[in-house]
Amino acid sequence: MRAAGRTVRARLRDRIAASDPGLLRLTAGLRTVGAIALTLLVLSLLRADVHILVAGAMAAMVATFAIREKQPAAQAVTLALGLPVALASVSLGAVLNTRLFVGDVFFVVLIFCAVYGRRFGDRGTALGLIGFQVYFLSLFVGATASTLPALCGALAVAFCSSALMRFAVVPATPTGVLLRLRLAFRARLAQLVAAQVELLDAPADEMDKALEAVREGTARLHETAMMIQGRLEEGTPDESAARLVQRRIADAEIAAERLGLLLLTARTAERADTLTLHLPGAPAPSLAGPELSDEAGATLRRDLQALHALVLRAGSGDTGTGLAHVRNRLLGYRDEENLPPASAAVQDVFRGIGESARAVLGLRIALDGPQDESDDSPATARSREELDAEDAAIDGGEGAEQEEQTGLRRPTTRAAVQVAVGSSLAIVGGELLSTQRWYWAVLTCWIVFLNTASTGEILVKGYRRLLGTVFGVVAGIVLAGLVGGHTWTAFALVLVLIFAMFYTAPLSYTLMSFFVTAMLGLLYTLLHTYSLDVLVLRIQETALGAVCGVVAAALVLPVQTDRRTNELLGTVLERLAEVTEAAVGQLSGGPADELLDKARDLDQALADLRAATQPLIHPVTPLRTRRHTARYVVALLETCAYHARTLAATAELLPTHPSIAADPRLRGAAGRTVRNIGVIAARVADEHAGAQVETGPSIASLLGSDAGTPRYGRITDRVLRHLERLDEAVVGLARPLGVPVAAPKG
């Protein structure tokens, strides 16, 4: 009974960890709601009126979500600096509230400074956000000189409540966050393996659904790996430990993605295209693989399920003989003589299972420390020796510095000018709509510029905010009618909506806007200013603010979506060339390099490009061909990144792995691929560039290898496979990007 209870709890823990990596959304929601609730409790004991209660609640929310630093000490400094900024902002708001022209000019200057402050990092961003939001708060509650002392007291209570929740009640240290992210990685890895089991068993009419689950699981695992990468420096005791975790996370991610590709190949008539795992909506290849009802199929299914169990139990502290037996059997597939009799494609899947088991073993050692080796088989002992040799070779390195732009080319300066112009337009238009609540237009204009960098991104964000606002108004009408004059019921619902807002914010901006607007309907009810006209005005002001933001972005120092995506595409291609050239150089016998760091720089550049293309692939985009092209190019680049990442991970094994030897011929064979990446990058930067992408013999033929009889178990053949597929994917990029392809020389 107890064992069953532990199993249920473990499954629930894994499900929560996978859905919210690091529990970052849950922590943010609980911390914010707790700070607001504590502020309301203290102010109610002090018998503050409802206006002060609303102001305190809003200030607690701002003081909590504005802080972005990862180290507690830095958070404490920013929070301490934020209080005087908030007091100054609310004081100026109370004084300038009735002075129309002077107040408007100051508001615009404040907005400019708040956005410009982003150039000073997380602290500058937080202080700017606090200054703007608290000034907005003063307008919302109608601050005056007579209410200023009470408002300042409410702000002090709010900041103290926020500090108490952040550092005592719901603490989140970098080490703790990284630990939870590791659990999330394991949980998502297990989910991906489970999806691969479903892919193995899926009938023909359900293959597309099963493939989509594998595709989504692969993307979610990569997302978690990137989150861990961003937390390693702060969450690990030293650089060597960080690099060890980085290596093992990369190994597990690559092994899992390779296993999915091998499974897909085993179920299809020919070699599966890696692009299929990265292109959303791509149909599954036609089924013509081996029947899976025979002995080999049953064994394959059993071992995939065993791998799934191994991943789940790796983080549970289970070190029993059952786990050791499963691990030994799966690791045995790394030796040719232990492979079950089956077709070559199915045997490749068994080898992939063995490599995945090795990655899980390495992950467990890196995260949980030394393990019991008493039940090791020879294959397991060999894997441990390889891992130990790799771990001993890890040392630190320095990252490359990026060139910083200056003047109006600096993104923060350009955004500050754009927001100032857009806010000026929003003030004028907003006051024409309402002399009392014009600031809603300014707030929307401000928000659509947050975390956006092009006109298209601002347009999409404005559209999403307007859509969420419209539905939120309907919800606000319903909730206001249900609450009536019950103050504390309304505050309780406000807390629920705020938690929902923070929990859904990273997932859907539309949902977040919905919860914000519904909450505002309740706040208006508390302030006794609720009416249907007010909520309709909220929609009008939101639409106006979004339009002003788009107009300012389009006319003032504009950054067009095409220009933005081309710049980021050039960066991705540059990083891809760097990783490929460095990995091939090391595999050819060149000096060691920081390959995994370069690979993660490529992943980050690709993530930035993926975010920037959202306006191009959004469902409301009228240009369908352009939308499909953008999606196809990003998927091809993800395929290129996968192969480059795998080459980098393989090259880092070179000094320690007994079966890997440098081959000087690789440098010459891969030279064409690197040159082609440069040609495409030059064409993206200058459409008049005249160079052509080269095609020709396969990489294997350039090395004199017989490509018709590949040996998966040999590392050299695996390198050749990745080089060939990378070369094919790079040539494939030429067509959608309009780069001419030279005819093969015959």
pLDDT band at 735 (very low <50, low <70, confident <90, very high): confident
pLDDT band at 706 (very low <50, low <70, confident <90, very high): very low
% of the chain exceeding 70 in pLDDT: 86
Q: By the 8 A CB rule, do 118 and 125 touch?
A: yes
Q: By the 8 A CB rule, do 46 and 151 touch?
A: no
Report pLDDT for 458: 84
Phi, psi of 268 (to 5 degrees): -120, 170
pLDDT over threshold 80, residue 411: no
Number of Cβ within 10 Å of residue 536's Cβ equals 12
Report pLDDT for 707: 42
Report pLDDT for 371: 65
pLDDT over threshold 90, residue 520: no
- Based on C-alpha coordinates, what's the Rg of the chain? 28
pLDDT band at 400 (very low <50, low <70, confident <90, very high): very low
Share in percent of the chain as helix, strand, coil (round to 5): 75, 0, 25
Report pLDDT for 253: 92
Calculate the average pLDDT of the chain.
83
In this predicted model, what pLDDT tens digit does every residue of 322-370 receive, in sequence order?
677 888 888 888 777 678 888 888 888 888 898 898 888 888 888 776 6
Nearest to 119 by CA among 446, 412, 407: 412
Q: What are the structure tokens assigned to 392, written together?
A: 């001993």
Region 252-281: mean pLDDT is 82
Report pLDDT for 138: 93
Give DSSP secondary structure letters for 700-727.
HHHTT--TTS--TTSHHHHHHHHHHHHH
pLDDT band at 687 (very low <50, low <70, confident <90, very high): confident
In this predicted model, what pLDDT tens digit does every residue of 199-216 receive, in sequence order?
888 887 888 898 899 999
Model pTM score: 0.85
Report pLDDT for 396: 43
d(CA 326, CA 314): 12
pLDDT over threshold 50, residue 402: no
Report pLDDT for 374: 65
pLDDT over threshold 60, residue 704: no
Report pLDDT for 414: 84
Report pLDDT for 214: 92
In this predicted model, what pLDDT tens digit does every residue of 104-142 receive, in sequence order?
899 999 999 999 998 888 999 999 999 999 999 999 888
Report pLDDT for 321: 62
pLDDT band at 535 (very low <50, low <70, confident <90, very high): confident
Give DSSP secondary structure letters for 183-235.
HHHHHHHHHHHHHHHHHHH--GGGHHHHHHHHHHHHHHHHHHHHHHHHHHHHH
Region 230-243: mean pLDDT is 79
d(CA 736, CA 745): 23
Q: What are the structure tokens assigned to 676, written together?
A: 């082609």
d(CA 727, CA 695): 9
Q: What are the structure tokens assigned to 149, written together?
A: 């002392």
Report pLDDT for 709: 41
pLDDT over threshold 60, residue 220: yes
Give DSSP secondary structure letters for 254-281.
HHHHHHHHHHHHHTBSSPPPGGGGTSTT
